[in-house]
Copies of this chain bind each other. A is one copy, B any other.
């Protein structure tokens, strides 16, 4: 069995111990002989890297760990690359949350004007990474967790040749949640799941081949407010929680306006505490506090995906891939989040057919926004950037006309070589 080199870009992330835990556990069937963490923040890399080293050593697996700030060195000969970077760090994320609010629109790191700014910063960096992967590896797989995951994956698939699969932990969390409701294993579940990353709907839930949608819907509705319940009843599907931003835009905006701290500001604090924790030399495993950070089952999603590729398992996982006709109503060359067969030759989407008329227009509109955003980010095209914001359901004409884009560009200047030159 071929032994593997796995490179984690953004390896200094506090999430890394979660991923490493999965790799250690899966070593028997997915034998990583070399684990390379690379990051531009040397301090964080060392803190996180030390914990990872202790984790590896306390386990019995012969994984060789290396920490480096030299991306090219880290990529050389890699078989799998996991990307979990955040361009501009949490401080840029906080801007993504704060700037839109000044213009009366929702601020969020992956969707709306905030996610848009994030995409503009991130896409050029990811395409640089892709170039390195093309040059330095033997056709390695790139597992992209970097947000906004769907948009970044589309940029990679349209503008590089790297074999990329986009990942998010929302789908796997649906599996765990529904399996838990039903008292079964996640492998018993199949989801008829359609849409885009952070804009998806579970249309039907099957357990061992039986349609258990109604049972799941009843359970899901129990945890909702009356208004939310109304929507779920109306569409008879389980919406991705990010759809809350779309269905309850005004309420979310009010809540954000009246909130003292943004999610990014809270995360900043959590991260600092986590890093303190990580420094504790007696800590030899992922600390429980990490769960507050979000990202549940992130490790499972990544490791299961890589395992299925490596072992040619041909099981079904929900990932981000080129649509290529899977959802009839979305463009062939747009990335979608759908159930795929994961094999040694990649992720093959299942034919999901047509979207229902009451979800179709939203999915289409956001997909066009995403495509304009990708093209704008690659070409440095300000007109397309404005058009992207104009059509985004959470932004629109008002924000465009009043200088939101200008402010975003200005505040992210150092990260936007495509608009300002290097």
Task: Give the 7 A-B CB pairs with smallest separation, nearest first.
Answer: A209-B344, A361-B365, A247-B397, A358-B387, A209-B312, A227-B401, A230-B401
Flag if B328 contacts A325 (CB, 8 Å): yes
Complex Cα gap A104–B249 (Å): 13
A162-213 with Cβ < 8 A to chain B: 188, 190, 206, 208-211
Flag if B371 contacts A364 (CB, 8 Å): no
Q: A351-B350, A362-B391 are in contact. Are A190 and B343 (CB under 8 A)?
A: yes
What are the interface flags for A355-391 relative to B under an 8 Å C-beta threshold, 1 for contact and 0 otherwise? 0011011101111110110000000000100110011
Flag if A364 contacts B360 (CB, 8 Å): yes
Flag if B360 contacts A234 (CB, 8 Å): no
A283 at the interface (CB under 8 A from B): no
Flag if B353 contacts A190 (CB, 8 Å): no
Flag if A211 contacts B345 (CB, 8 Å): yes
Complex Cα gap A131–B352 (Å): 28
Chain B residues positioned under 8 Å from A351 (CB to CB): 324-326, 348-351
The closest CB in chain B to the CB of A365 belongs to B361
A-B contact pairs, 24 of them (CB 8 A): A188-B312, A190-B343, A190-B345, A206-B343, A209-B309, A211-B345, A227-B397, A227-B401, A230-B397, A234-B387, A234-B390, A250-B398, A316-B341, A325-B328, A325-B351, A332-B353, A341-B341, A341-B350, A349-B351, A360-B364, A361-B361, A361-B369, A365-B365, A393-B393
A272 at the interface (CB under 8 A from B): no
A29 at the interface (CB under 8 A from B): no
Binding site for B on A (CB under 8 A): 104, 188, 190, 206, 208-211, 226-227, 230-231, 234-235, 247-251, 309, 312, 314-316, 324-326, 328, 332, 341, 343-345, 348-354, 357-358, 360-362, 364-369, 371-372, 383, 386-387, 390-391, 393, 396-398, 400-402
The closest CB in chain B to the CB of A314 belongs to B316
Q: A190-B314, A365-B362 are in contact. Are A387 and B357 (CB under 8 A)?
A: yes
Flag if B234 contacts A386 (CB, 8 Å): yes
Flag if B360 contacts A209 (CB, 8 Å): no
Among B210, B251, B312, B368, the residue within 8 A (CB) of A361 is B368
Could you list 4 further interchain pairs (A-B, Cβ under 8 angstroms) beyond the known A325-B328, A360-B368?
A250-B398, A332-B353, A357-B391, A361-B368
Q: A211-B345, A368-B358 are in contact. Are A248 and B398 (CB under 8 A)?
A: yes
Flag if A390 contacts B208 (CB, 8 Å): no
The closest CB in chain B to the CB of A234 belongs to B386
Complex Cα gap A247–B396 (Å): 7
The closest CB in chain B to the CB of A350 belongs to B348
Complex Cα gap A361–B331 (Å): 12
A64 shortest CB reach to chain B, Å? 25
A232 shortest CB reach to chain B, Å? 11
Flag if B368 contacts A312 (CB, 8 Å): no
Complex Cα gap A341–B314 (Å): 9
The closest CB in chain B to the CB of A388 belongs to B358
Chain B residues positioned under 8 Å from A350 (CB to CB): 341, 348-351
Complex Cα gap A344–B362 (Å): 31
Chain B residues positioned under 8 Å from A383 (CB to CB): 234
Flag if B343 contacts A357 (CB, 8 Å): no
A51 shortest CB reach to chain B, Å? 33
A145 shortest CB reach to chain B, Å? 22
Complex Cα gap A372–B356 (Å): 11
Flag if B390 contacts A231 (CB, 8 Å): yes
Of A188, A326, A345, A396, most B-chain CB atoms within 10 Å: A345
A324 shortest CB reach to chain B, Å? 5
Chain B residues positioned under 8 Å from A396 (CB to CB): 247, 249
A154 shortest CB reach to chain B, Å? 13
A211 shortest CB reach to chain B, Å? 7
Flag if A231 contacts B361 (CB, 8 Å): no
